[in-house]
Amino acid sequence: MRCSLLVCSAMFVTANSANADYPVAGKEPSQRPSDAPVIEWVNHNKAWYQSALTGVQQPYPRSLYFLDNQGNWYTPFIHPGMKGRYDLRNWHQ
């Protein structure tokens, strides 16, 4: 019992002192920490667009213009999905 208490105490001290200078989100859920990292720009080059629009023919539908504002968020639309008859955009050829 004593040993486990000592181990838990050491883990708590290590966890709390490891990143003391890094801002922790979640202390105030309604407010982002003022010193939290911020993405200032996103570079989606021609290769990214070609990959994201695999299997889509020009003229591109207006519904795909969301890609211009996609940022670095994950979207399943730009990744290969299931194979076989579900592969409507021919990612798996």
Cα–Cα distance for residue pair 4/10, rounded to 1 Å: 10
Cα–Cα distance for residue pair 4/19, rounded to 1 Å: 24
Q: What percent of the chain has pLDDT over 90?
A: 28
Of 26-30, 35-39, 47-51, 71-75, highest mean pLDDT:
47-51
pLDDT number for residue 33: 76
pLDDT number for residue 49: 92
Q: pTM of the full predicted structure? A: 0.55
Mind giving me the DSSP string for 24-61? -TTSSTTS--TTS---------HHHHHHHTTT-PSSPP
Using alpha carbons, list the distances in angstroms from residue 30 to 33, 37, 69: 10, 17, 25
- The chain-wide mean pLDDT, for the chain, equals 80
Q: How do residues 6-38 score in pLDDT, each as one tens digit?
A: 555 555 555 555 556 766 666 777 887 777 788
